[in-house]
Amino acid sequence: MKQVVQNNIYIIIVIILVNIFSVFAFVRIDFTSNNRYSLSKVSKSTIKTNTEPITVDFYVTEDLPQELKKIAREFIYILKEYKSLSNVYFKINTIHPDNEQTEHKALQAGIQPILIEISERDMEKIQNIYMGAVFSIGEKKAVLPFINYNTPLEYEITRLLKQASDTLKPHIAFIKGHQEASLGQMPQLINELSQLTDISVIDLFSTNDLSPYSVLCIIDPKDVYTPYEKEQFNKYLRQGGRLFIALNHAVGQINESQNSGFINRTGIEDLLEDKGLKIRYDFVVDNNCSTITVKQHNGFMSYQSSVSFPYLPIITNFSKHTITHGLNAILLPFASSIQQVKTNSTYIFTPLATTSSISGRQQAPVFFNLQKQWTRNDFNQPHSIVAALLTNDDNNSAIVTITDADFLINDIGIYAHPLRTDNINFAVNSIEWLGDNSGLIKLRNKFTTFASLEPIDDYTKSFLKYFNFLLPLLITLIAAAIRFHTKRIKRINRSRPGYI
């Protein structure tokens, strides 16, 4: 009896010690296949090396819908994990904007409320929801104006920490002088890049030394590069330089006067072919594509309708590479295919993105028949490469090439339009990888999602139902039979003379 009491006392002491430890240390075990709820190495390294005190003011509406509550809870959990690894002061303040004073404070801090429709029993109401955070890192402040399902929480937190601690950012340059896309035409891309890089725009004729730049970006040139300029690029590459190239090699024109496509050569194609990457003179077509609005006639009436347009392929096939990690789909209007060719160059060719299994190629020039009825015969050249990487281990240079530039251009004025998130992610991932700042790439597409059961057919449902019902019975019967057999053997043995 005394031993039992002692054991119970030991158990109670252990439980108390575990609870005391949990107050000061945050620990959780991640069983997800993609480590969704674990901090990456770059996040752990960033928080451990940070020397500035951190205060996070988390503004969150108290009465949230259930799904948003999960996101808010997960944000707190991630902050606690950062706090447990931090070597400096780290404080988390949860503030509920439930009155005019706290709402005004949230708005002043840059937290943006959104209106959502909430169903409660027999009524629906519109409610202002606050869920954002203000990070004070040393003397710097940064705001996450609103956190939702599409917010990569770990990426945003680590990015803010790196911004506060990194004094040397990669310096990237956009080439001008050949009617390239301006920075104003690519606000989404520039906004992402400016957070972790320094950006310049340079002219090759006025810039003799390209070595200060980690990456040179060539986006949508329309004029031809001179031999001198191409030699500038070659010299830069020999010094270990990195290039990101997005060419509108295949140009499509769709308007009231013409529906045609042609090839626009800029001279960059020759530079790439010398290194083993050839851009074909064609347009890729894909059954997995976006739509285009066309005017159709029915008698005296005319109307507009959306039709699938295979010249606008949606690319979903990506190789396993850091650049393409986490990408789902990018839209490439009027892209050409890429071919690997043999050269004396020491560059290694790696495909990054290909068209689908139902895709093809059409030699340029082409005429766009908007009423065309596409058949399987039009898609007889599957898995055409549309983006590729060239790497040279001898001098550590690298080139990322994609055969479309419009996928990065928002345009300006009345023609401005938002781009797919993955379009921007592909370009930013490429430039960050080329700039050797690859730590955050894998985090950009790491979202906090909650698992849902996949739909199953009726046969599987029936099988699982009876399997779940009968399996425990079967295990019980087998265990009973084994136990019965064991005891029977014991009884037989006991009945024998001389059994001890």
217 within a domain of the structure (yes/no):
yes
CATH code for the domain in which residue 239 is found:
3.40.50
315 within a domain of the structure (yes/no):
yes
Instruction: State how far the Cα of 435 lies from the Cα of 240, in Å rounded to an integer.
Output: 11
Tens of pLDDT, residues 417-454: 889 989 999 999 899 899 875 466 666 655 554 444 55
Q: pTM of the prediction?
A: 0.70
**Mean pLDDT, range 123-129, rounded to an integer:** 75
7 within a domain of the structure (yes/no):
no
Nearest alpha-carbon partner for 175 in 208, 220, 212, 214: 220
Tens of pLDDT, residues 337-391: 999 999 999 999 999 999 999 999 999 999 998 888 899 999 999 999 999 999 9
Nearest alpha-carbon partner for 264 in 428, 406, 410: 406
Query: What pLDDT score was predicted for residue 41?
Result: 82
Could you please report the per-residue DSSP string of 112-157?
PPEEEEEEETTEEEEEEE-EEEEEEETTEEEEE----TT--HHHHH
pLDDT band at 23 (very low <50, low <70, confident <90, very high): low
Same domain, 132 and 184: no
Same domain, 307 and 175: yes
Tens of pLDDT, residues 179-194: 999 999 999 999 888 8
Same domain, 296 and 364: yes
**Mean pLDDT, range 56-69, rounded to an integer:** 86
Query: What pLDDT score was predicted for residue 149?
Result: 77
pLDDT of 251 above 80: yes
How long, in residues, is the chain? 500
Query: What pLDDT score was predicted for residue 449?
Result: 47
Same domain, 300 and 416: yes
**Mean pLDDT, range 395-421, rounded to an integer:** 88
281 within a domain of the structure (yes/no):
yes
Query: What pLDDT score was predicted for residue 450?
Result: 44
488 within a domain of the structure (yes/no):
yes
Name which residue leads in pLDDT, 339 or 22: 339
Structural domain span for residue 307: 171-436
Q: 107: alpha, beta or left, given left = phi > 0 and alpha = psi -120 to 50?
A: alpha
pLDDT band at 413 (very low <50, low <70, confident <90, very high): low
Same domain, 233 and 140: no
Query: What pLDDT score was predicted for residue 452?
Result: 46
Instruction: State how far the Cα of 176 lies from the Cα of 414, in Å rounded to an integer.
Output: 24
Same domain, 353 and 229: yes
The dihedral through the CA atoms of 486, 489, 495, 500 has a sign that is: negative
pLDDT of 254 above 60: yes
Spell out the alpha helix ranges (H) of 166-226: 187-194
CB atoms within 10 A of CB 423: 23
Of 113, 146, 164, the last residue of a domain is 164
pLDDT of 166 above 50: yes
- What does DSSP assign to residue 281? S
Q: What is the largest CA-CA distance in the chain?
A: 111
The dihedral through the CA atoms of 174, 180, 184, 186 has a sign that is: negative
Number of domains making up the chain: 3
**For a pLDDT cut of 70, what percent of the chain falls above it?**
85
Q: Where are the beta strands (DSSP E) in 299-418?
A: 301-315, 317-318, 330-331, 338-340, 348-354, 359-363, 366-367, 385-392, 397-402
Of 164, 185, 202, the last residue of a domain is 164
Same domain, 233 and 296: yes
Query: What pLDDT score was predicted for residue 145?
Result: 86
Query: What pLDDT score was predicted for residue 24?
Result: 55
- Are 84 and 38 a contacting pair, CB within 8 Å? no
24 within a domain of the structure (yes/no):
no
Residues 6 or more apart in contact with residue 414 via CB below 8 angstroms: none
Same domain, 144 and 190: no
CB atoms within 10 A of CB 407: 22
Query: What pLDDT score was predicted for residue 58?
Result: 93
pLDDT band at 35 (very low <50, low <70, confident <90, very high): low
Same domain, 304 and 344: yes
What is the β-pairing status of strands 123-129 and 198-203? unpaired
CB atoms within 10 A of CB 166: 12
CATH code for the domain in which residue 146 is found:
3.40.30.10
Same domain, 189 and 322: yes
21 within a domain of the structure (yes/no):
no
Of 402, 436, 470, the last residue of a domain is 436
Query: What pLDDT score was predicted for residue 165?
Result: 66
Same domain, 265 and 303: yes
58 beta partners: 94, 133
- What does DSSP assign to residue 435? T
pLDDT of 83 above 70: yes
Query: What pLDDT score was predicted for residue 456?
Result: 66
**Mean pLDDT, range 153-174, rounded to an integer:** 79
Q: What are the backbone angles phi and psi of residue 91, rounded to the nearest 5°? A: -125, 140
Lowest mean pLDDT among 78-82, 234-238, 438-442: 438-442
Same domain, 277 and 407: yes
46 within a domain of the structure (yes/no):
yes
Does residue 89 sit in helix, strand or coil? coil
